[in-house]
Amino acid sequence: MQKKKSSIGWRNENKHPSLSEVFSSVSVPKQKGIWKKLFAFTGPGLLIAVGYMDPGNWATDIAGGAQFGYMLLSVIFISNFFAIILQHLALKLGIVCERDLAQACRDHYPPLISFILWILCEISIAACDLAEIIGSVLALKLLFGIPITWGVLITAIDVLIILFFQYKGFRYIESVVAALIFTILVCFSFEIISSKPEIFPILKGIVPNPEIIKNSHSFYISIGILGATVMPHNLYLHSSIIQTRDYPRTTEGKKMAIKYATIDSTLSLSLAFFINAAILIISAATFHKAGYTEVADIMDAHKLLNPILGSSLSGVFFALALLASGQNSTLTGTLAGQIVMEGFINIKFKPWIRRLITRLIAIVPAMIASIVYGEKGTTELLIISQIILSIQLSFAIVPLVNFTGDSEKMGPFVNGPILKISAWVITIIIVFLNLFLLYNTLLGRR
């Protein structure tokens, strides 16, 4: 039997659109106005950028700045470049194949492999949710003095907020995320101005320094920044939410969609680079300059900001940015969970049930750690969550690079030779560094 055109290169025909309730729900103007089309495609990139500025990234940026000044800015820059390439592949897969990455895995691999990939992905989303809880809990303690145990319970309520915006429409979710990112941007802009960093050392730090590799400790932190930069759930998320745009499902329409979606993604990830770089710059300009080179903890960083900068607002803005970061990541984590479950095993739960399951899985260990170990326990959980994400990463990147490099699946949109080689080099580097980081972390090496 001859396969239908829509299923060429796949084991099964995809019968259900990704995120069916919002599929093709955001209109794209048919006229040729560049700015109107760019505005129509603006949004998914911001949701993706959230994953690159979540609480899990803060510790490595703070530690890198406190210990080595501006030297590791080049690592953040390289990490961001890797992220731009991989997210481009994710959005291209969604647009061209009209499948999210989870659906693509289900339609390519045997059922057992797909089931295993689904379990691994669910664990990584729960780990990501754990990092979001911890970030929000620490922020609530810093802002309002709420005990960590109570803070864990309060974070469970955000499911109601998320559901409200989900029912209002996808553009509302994008607007909320944009507002929270703007909050983070304002907070860190204030912190940078207050910390008065030196411009020339910042520019010098963007250029890779051989000392990064020579110094074993800076190399370890660099691996932490580079290896844990790309969030696995972001690849599933981006390949799905780009399909919310109502572009023509033709060759020309898909070409146009890829163009504007890539601009949106690149600009949004550039904003994420600024925020990650800002965290490291602030840490370098305050802690490293003052001799506090051992600062590697979010709580310690908050305690030292006020006395060093001489402004009580510094700590407030720092905590406010942390709270916005945690809540933003919660929104995107919810969507990713829905996409992964529907894509891999084709089971649909009501959003509030799906969110409750994920949040309970993350809340239990967070609650136990907060009761038994207090702040130290939550910080350790933050590290563990990043290790789990590192393990899952290769199981998302390898299929993505493989699918987008397959001419049978992608047709005229298949990765060109340069992009194909670049994607595999990036994949090998990230997978190797994550394995190296995991090995050393489990052995207790720093």
**Rounded Cα distance, 103 and 341, in Å:** 10
Nearest-5° Cα angle at 99, 93 to 101: 65
The mean predicted confidence, pLDDT, of the chain is 82
pLDDT at 423: 95
Residue pLDDT, tens place only, 282-314: 989 988 888 887 776 677 777 777 777 766 777
The reply to whether 160 falls in a domain is: yes
Helix residue ranges per DSSP H, 98-169: 101-108, 111-144, 148-154, 158-168
Q: What is the pLDDT of residue 379?
A: 61
Query: What is the tens place of the pLDDT at every residue in 25-44?
Result: 888 988 778 889 999 999 99
| Residue 375 banded pLDDT, cuts 50, 70, 90 | low
The answer to whether position 9 is within a domain reads no
CATH number, residue 280: 1.20.1740.10
**24 occurs within a structural domain:** no
Asked whether residue 5 carries a pLDDT value surpassing 60, the answer given is no
Q: Angle at the Cα of 174 (from 173 to 179), degrees rounded to 5?
A: 100
In the three-class reduction of DSSP (H, G, I as helix; E, B as strand; rest coil), residue 26 is classed as strand
pLDDT band for 255, please (50, 70, 90 cuts): very high
Half-sphere exposure for 316 (CA within 13 Å, toward CB): 6
Query: Which residue segment(s) compose the domain that 382 sits in?
Result: 32-442
pLDDT given for residue 4 in this prediction: 43
| Helix, strand, coil % over all residues of the chain, rounded to 5 | 80, 0, 20
pLDDT of res. 2? 40
- pTM exceeding the 0.85 threshold for the entire prediction: yes
pLDDT in tens, 314-369: 788 888 888 888 777 777 777 787 788 888 887 777 666 766 676 666 667 666 76
Domain for residue 289, yes or no?
yes
> Is the residue at 294 inside a domain?
yes
Q: How many structural domains does the chain have?
A: 1
Tell me whether residue 369 is in a domain: yes
* Residue 263 confidence class, pLDDT cut points 50, 70, 90: very high
Contacts 24+ apart (CB under 8 A), 108-112: 108/10, 108/11, 108/399, 108/403, 109/11, 109/399
Q: Is residue 20 part of a domain?
A: no
Separation of alpha carbons 181 and 191, rounded Å: 15
Answer whether residue 11 is part of any domain: no
